[in-house]
Amino acid sequence: MVFWTEINIDQITTTTVGTRQRFSYNGGPLRFQIPRGTSQGLSEFKSMYVNLTHGEFIQWWRRLEEFLCPGLSNSNLKGSSLRLKVDDSVYVFDKDSKQINPEVREGLFRGQDVACLIDVDSTYFFNGNSGLTVRVYQVKTLTDVLTPETPTAAPEESFSLAKGVCAFLA
């Protein structure tokens, strides 16, 4: 895995699929680790904002968005918070890099320090807005995610999160 600082924006490959642009990097997905931040929690729409304090990353992200989606109208960056989609295929790891299967529900990760590996998949166009589709590939909690108020899901109720290898660099 690579840190965001290792991504050379000029080497990102763009492919047109219908009206969307799809992105790749070095023959694979445009996937990288962003700086650690504090999650505002999972929303009912399966997204979360991560509050970031790394000014250099925020400037780099703005350059990335402009490069990938010139004239975009809906940035994933709101102030210093980055909006990330969390879907059924996300890998979740605890602070000891052990894969866990928390109940995926609104509020999950709220107030937690997290590290995220993200995929910048494609552009989207919806109701006159354009932006980037940014999904969490892996999330690692840096504090205890499972508290008495956050039960684990019963196997039949879980999203059956895939088994994976924790790929965080630091």
pLDDT tens profile 81-98? 999 999 878 899 999 999
Q: What average pLDDT does range 150-166 have in this prediction?
A: 47
**Confidence class for position 1, pLDDT limits 50, 70, 90:** confident
Global pTM value: 0.83
Average pLDDT over residues 5-17: 94
Q: What average pLDDT does this structure show over 120-144?
A: 88
pLDDT at residue 169, as a whole number: 62
pLDDT band, residue 150 (cuts 50/70/90): very low
**Average pLDDT of the chain?**
85
For range 12-25, the mean pLDDT: 92
Which pLDDT does position 125 carry in this prediction?
A: 79
Does residue 161 surpass a pLDDT of 60?
A: no
What domains, with CATH codes, occur in the chain? 4-141 (2.40.50)
pLDDT bin (cut points 50, 70, 90) of residue 151 is very low
In the predicted model, is pLDDT for residue 127 greater than 90?
A: no
SS3 track for the chain:
CCEHHHCCHHHEEEEEECCEEEEEECCEECEEECCCEEEEEECCCCEEEEECCCHHHHHHHHHHHHHHCCCCCCCCEECCEEEEECCCCCEEECCCCCECCECCCCCCCCCCEEEEEEEEEEEEEECCEEEEEEEEEEEEECCCCCCCCCCECCCCCCCCCCCCCCCCCC
